[in-house]
Amino acid sequence: METKFCSVLKNRRTYYAISGESPISDQAIEDIIRSAVKYVPSAFNSQSTRVVLLLGNSHRQLWDIVKKTLRKRVASDEAFARTEAKIDGSFASGYGTVLYFEDQTVVEGLQKSFPSYKDNFPGWSQQASAMHQLAIWTMLEEEGFGASLQHYNPLIDDEVRATWKLPETWKLIAQMPFGKPAQQPAEKEYSSVDDRIRVFK
């Protein structure tokens, strides 16, 4: 029997066509973020993940930063026009963006406290971030949002931290623009689950 969580997880997809509408209140979106940050597990209970929710002008400002940063790096006007169209139509067009960070102060503190596991903590930190990303993505899906996961870091890191006065120790991991789906994604192909699982009894 399929659980509700499994059903929502199955429906979670990458949406590139999103609008600036929201099916729920801003407070409800914030509650999703707070629940994930509080309850998603992390190695050694490190709680190293930091999340920033950008709505309204702040959301649009982020994608202006991305475009401005990329404009300096894209060689031709034609190439940048394609990049700008993608950003405007798939990310900036949404209702908001979730930024995922990992606090390096926490990671480095654990490395000092547990030197035997020193090399593992950066990887475990990334795993904690990934769990937050999936949890929030899935909860947004359940509320009727479409989202995608983007990685314009580290190109935009310094300006993002400066713009929203975030600590230097917060390392940007990913950006998740979300909004009301404006178009359904294409069918997804799955490789054989049997090839990816082993069960021993």
Query: Is the pLDDT reported for residue 123 higher than 70?
Result: yes
**Model pLDDT for residues 54-106, shown as the tens digit of each residue:** 999 999 999 999 999 999 988 888 889 999 999 999 999 999 999 999 999 99
Across 76-104, b (16+ Cβ under 10 Å) vs e yields eeeebeeebeebeebbbbbbbbbbbbbbb
Residues in CB range of 60: below 8 A, 6 or more apart: 92
With a pLDDT cut of 90, the percent of the chain lying above it is 88
Task: Give pLDDT, residue 160.
Answer: 98
**Model pLDDT for residues 126-164, shown as the tens digit of each residue:** 999 999 999 999 999 999 999 999 999 999 999 999 999
How many CA atoms are closer than 13 Å to the CA of 187, on its beta-carbon side?
A: 2
Alpha carbon distance 118, 121 (integer Å): 6
Q: CB-based burial of residue 195 (10 Å sphere; 0-12 exposed, 13-18 middle, 19+ buried)? A: exposed
Task: Give pLDDT, residue 135.
Answer: 97
pLDDT mean across residues, the chain? 96
Q: How confident is the model at residue 195 (pLDDT cuts 50, 70, 90)?
A: very high
Task: Decide yes or no: CATH 3.60.70.12 for domain 11-183.
Answer: no
Residues in CB range of 26: below 8 A, 6 or more apart: 55
Tell me the H-state helices in 40-156.
56-71, 77-90, 104-113, 121-142
Residues in CB range of 201: below 8 A, 6 or more apart: none
Q: How confident is the model at residue 1 (pLDDT cuts 50, 70, 90)?
A: low
| CB-based contact 53:62 (threshold 8 Å) | no
Query: Is the pLDDT reported for residue 187 higher than 90?
Result: no
Alpha carbon distance 87, 31 (integer Å): 27
